[in-house]
Chains A and B, each alone.
Chain A
């Protein structure tokens, strides 16, 4: 676009990937940015570009878990970006996509963890990143607004001023970063050293200070100004944009003859455009940078959110599949987001590549446990904090979560049929070493036949060496599996009960003896007496209506 031979071509500061790659359609984005700069009213420019951004290669299939983990809700309610007292609206869809697509490259996971670790340990660095985000957000707002709202030149100068502040902050504030944040400094330094940036600085100086006037003001006895006396006028002659008054007038006349309007504003508009042309290649970088910053600030927002509830989070340690799984202080952030104080629990297994059967009473926290473990795995592999005080995880090749079985109007099968289809689909796409979460497997048929299918599924699953967690109410069957030890890869967790057989939301090895369905029924008002009382009440009500 620029006629200059030395077009500015800095590599965008990719903060999400160990090896940077082009995530956005740069040419299309440059065009959109140019239109936005010119005042085309490109509302939603940043958000739409981020939604179309290419993500790092991932072996995870979001459709296999995102809905069951309420990932969009998690992002919206837990990953808020708040700087000072102000909360910023983040690109939730983009963040959801990022979290749902953990990078295949382990170096990228480590790259992100290093950045988050540095931000967590260095308050000044985090403050600087938040300030940088504030300026970037301001730039986004101006670019996405229409120029009809105020003077076009002033709007464009505001955009250029924001860009200047961004570049200067990047170059000056992140030079000492040890993590990938140092890419900000490198990017800022490269842009700052360019001719385009010098022109930008000169234009802003020209806009702010064309000349300095020394005035002498006379004030009368009544305090009112009586007169001015101009002592001296000093033009900023060193600025390349400063010409003589005659030249400025001739420039206006020239523009008039060229078909523009005869005004000083038109001259300024041409100069602004010339400076923007030089910086145009840099603008697409800001879109990706906004997404990157929201990723890290959102993760820090999650950590703050949990910490405010007394729930520490951590960056997990990744270990081999045969190493023990450790999840200390694990909590369900979705509960926290809905105002329900979660009860942290400790989960340990002697290795990762096992299938864990979870048993316990209804409403004992089994499903929430599966959500929490899956979220921890997903977040950990995305390179951000996991909802646990301490975590040792093993990288999974994929994630499948099947917690919610909704009845659909057009479903072709009954409950058992749908259950079997679910199992079929699972095996069709499940790679070895994946994490699998199955809630109440084979609960849609009679226990004796269901147990056979259950055992078959478990046996076949072990061949893929998954990290599987399966809940079931086939307590007797689970007990037989435990005592027989026929499947060596099976591990057993049960809900711990209190003295009065109430669930403690903690888990311990073994198989539960009862599902305590009677307790749940009583708690939810489904005892014989309670149901009889309801029947009699409804009968009396109907009789009364007939009499009237």
Chain B
């Protein structure tokens, strides 16, 4: 039987002896002989099994690789599409807002009311632009990281509604109507403030609209990581974040700490000082900065229990309007 151990250069006698040596005619003394065919069958089976396993592993790895690259390409395309909607100025919006808020929560720099707001309807016209709104306690705005955390807890409220659409009069009944509208679950608040995005949308969405996220997608080395990134990307408020990034106006409310003592309402409302600001993000200029005191003591006992905070907020918005009107 031919064998790979022979070469054409070998003599016929040597070839014959080499063939004999591999045909198993000899056995070392004392060695246990097994049926050669059984050995061959077992080894063939092992080889076939090993080959099948190898092919299977290779196939699975190739399939995973293709799926991973497909997933990466799909996600990268979506990220790129989202990124293309934002210009460099938009990418800087959130850091600038955080910087403004940290500054606003610091030493109060005095009231500001620009001349541009003096014209009748100027304030209302101002809110026609895309706006970002946030409200938080003074201590929550101590630095950029804290601003992000505070922003996640801040949403549209009665102050924003009353600022954009003030009640016709400063009566408990009129303010309560606005407060109830703000707390409505039927979408009236969103409809009335559709051009305003809470800062939370930018905080939650902008990390997915960055080149850093695109790089993470490119560098992800397994499918699970890519699935995790896609899931997070899908859940992120990307449209709202894009809208927030393109905002021209920032409206913020900073609640200073309330003095010790005094009554605290069931919803946490208590007499304290509030800072309100409106910033033109296009020119980085403060259009309005004022400091007001809110005190729920004017609210009737029946309404104070469930709406003290909303009524005070709406009253604060009226205070802002009145301040502008007094110019």
Interface residues of A, Cβ cutoff 8 Å to B: 2-6, 35, 38-40, 195-196, 198-199, 238-243, 247, 250-251, 253-260, 267, 270-271, 273-275, 277-278
- On chain B, the residues within 8 Å of A271 by CB distance are 5, 18, 21
Given A38-B28, A259-B43, A251:B5 Cβ within 8 A? yes
A250 adjacent to B4 (CB under 8 Å) = yes
Chain A nearest CB from B126 CB (Å) reads 73
- Can you list 18 residue pairs at the A/B interface with Cβ under 8 Å? A2-B20, A3-B20, A5-B13, A39-B29, A196-B13, A240-B10, A240-B11, A241-B10, A242-B7, A247-B7, A253-B4, A254-B3, A254-B22, A258-B23, A259-B36, A259-B39, A277-B17, A277-B20
Given A240-B10, A257-B40, A251:B26 Cβ within 8 A? no
Q: Cα distance A251–B29 when bound, in Å?
A: 24
A36 to chain B: closest residue by CB: B29
Q: Cα distance A255–B4 when bound, in Å?
A: 9
- On chain B, the residues within 8 Å of A240 by CB distance are 7, 9-11, 14
Contact among B21, B30, B36 with A270 in the assembled complex (CB-CB below 8 Å): B21
Contact among A250, A253, A257, A274 with B18 in the assembled complex (CB-CB below 8 Å): A274
Contact among B13, B20, B36 with A258 in the assembled complex (CB-CB below 8 Å): B36
Q: Cα distance A251–B30 when bound, in Å?
A: 26
- On chain A, the residues within 8 Å of B56 by CB distance are none
A3 adjacent to B10 (CB under 8 Å) = no
- On chain A, the residues within 8 Å of B3 by CB distance are 251, 254
Contact among A199, A255, A260, A277 with B11 in the assembled complex (CB-CB below 8 Å): A199
B4 adjacent to A274 (CB under 8 Å) = no
Q: Tell me if B24 counts as interface (CB < 8 A to partner A).
A: yes
A198 adjacent to B11 (CB under 8 Å) = yes
A40 to chain B: closest residue by CB: B29
Q: Cα distance A390–B306 when bound, in Å?
A: 147
A243 to chain B: closest residue by CB: B7
Q: Tell me if B34 counts as interface (CB < 8 A to partner A).
A: yes
Q: Cα distance A3–B11 when bound, in Å?
A: 13
Q: Cα distance A240–B16 when bound, in Å?
A: 14
B28 adjacent to A6 (CB under 8 Å) = no
A39 adjacent to B13 (CB under 8 Å) = no
A4 adjacent to B43 (CB under 8 Å) = no
Known: A270-B5, A271-B21. 19 other contacts (CB 8 A): A3-B19, A3-B20, A5-B13, A40-B30, A199-B13, A240-B9, A240-B14, A241-B10, A251-B4, A255-B5, A256-B43, A258-B22, A259-B43, A270-B18, A271-B5, A271-B18, A274-B21, A275-B17, A278-B17
- On chain A, the residues within 8 Å of B22 by CB distance are 254-255, 258, 260, 270
As a 0/1 sequence over residues 20 to 61 of chain B, the CB contacts with chain A under 8 angstroms (1 = contact) are 111110101110001010011001100100000000000000
B37 to chain A: closest residue by CB: A259
A268 to chain B: closest residue by CB: B5
B24 adjacent to A195 (CB under 8 Å) = no
- On chain B, the residues within 8 Å of A277 by CB distance are 17, 20-21
List 8 tightest A-B contacts by C-beta distance, closest first.
A259-B39, A240-B9, A274-B17, A4-B13, A251-B4, A40-B29, A274-B18, A273-B21
Q: Cα distance A520–B5 when bound, in Å?
A: 82
A257 adjacent to B43 (CB under 8 Å) = yes
B31 to chain A: closest residue by CB: A38
A280 to chain B: closest residue by CB: B17
B29 adjacent to A35 (CB under 8 Å) = yes
Q: Cα distance A241–B8 when bound, in Å?
A: 9
Chain A nearest CB from B7 CB (Å) reads 5
Interface residues of B, Cβ cutoff 8 Å to A: 3-5, 7, 9-11, 13-14, 16-24, 26, 28-30, 34, 36, 39-40, 43-44, 47
A4 adjacent to B16 (CB under 8 Å) = yes
Chain A nearest CB from B40 CB (Å) reads 6
B26 to chain A: closest residue by CB: A273
- On chain A, the residues within 8 Å of B24 by CB distance are 258-259
B25 to chain A: closest residue by CB: A3
- On chain A, the residues within 8 Å of B47 by CB distance are 257
Given A240-B14, A273-B26, A254:B43 Cβ within 8 A? no
Q: Cα distance A271–B29 when bound, in Å?
A: 18
B33 to chain A: closest residue by CB: A259
- On chain A, the residues within 8 Å of B36 by CB distance are 258-259
Chain A nearest CB from B111 CB (Å) reads 75
Chain B nearest CB from A36 CB (Å) reads 10
A255 to chain B: closest residue by CB: B22
- On chain B, the residues within 8 Å of A196 by CB distance are 13
A5 to chain B: closest residue by CB: B13
- On chain A, the residues within 8 Å of B44 by CB distance are 257
Chain A nearest CB from B23 CB (Å) reads 8
- On chain A, the residues within 8 Å of B29 by CB distance are 35, 38-40
Chain A nearest CB from B190 CB (Å) reads 71
Given A258-B24, A259-B24, A239:B14 Cβ within 8 A? no
Q: Cα distance A5–B34 when bound, in Å?
A: 29
Q: Which has the most chain A C-beta neighbours within 10 Å: B14, B24, B26, B39?
A: B14
Given A251-B3, A274-B20, A277-B20, A195:B26 Cβ within 8 A? no
- On chain A, the residues within 8 Å of B17 by CB distance are 2-4, 199, 273-275, 277-278
Contact among B14, B26, B34, B40 with A38 in the assembled complex (CB-CB below 8 Å): B26
Chain A nearest CB from B176 CB (Å) reads 86
Chain A nearest CB from B110 CB (Å) reads 72
Q: Cα distance A242–B7 when bound, in Å?
A: 8
Chain A nearest CB from B51 CB (Å) reads 12
Contact among A195, A238, A258 with B40 in the assembled complex (CB-CB below 8 Å): A258
Q: Cα distance A430–B17 when bound, in Å?
A: 56
- On chain A, the residues within 8 Å of B9 by CB distance are 238-240, 242
Given A274-B21, A277-B21, A259:B14 Cβ within 8 A? no
Chain A nearest CB from B252 CB (Å) reads 65
Q: Which has the most chain A C-beta neighbours within 10 Å: B16, B24, B36?
A: B16
Q: Cα distance A39–B28 when bound, in Å?
A: 8
Q: Which has the most chain A C-beta neighbours within 10 Å: B5, B10, B23, B43?
A: B5
- On chain A, the residues within 8 Å of B30 by CB distance are 40
B8 to chain A: closest residue by CB: A240
Given A35-B29, A40-B29, A274-B18, A259:B34 Cβ within 8 A? yes
- On chain B, the residues within 8 Å of A4 by CB distance are 13-14, 16-17
Chain B nearest CB from A331 CB (Å) reads 50
Q: Cα distance A144–B59 when bound, in Å?
A: 55
Q: Cα distance A183–B98 when bound, in Å?
A: 109
- On chain B, the residues within 8 Å of A254 by CB distance are 3-5, 22
A8 to chain B: closest residue by CB: B13
Chain B nearest CB from A239 CB (Å) reads 7
- On chain A, the residues within 8 Å of B20 by CB distance are 2-3, 274, 277
- On chain B, the residues within 8 Å of A256 by CB distance are 43
Given A256-B43, A259-B40, A259-B43, A6:B13 Cβ within 8 A? yes
A195 adjacent to B14 (CB under 8 Å) = yes
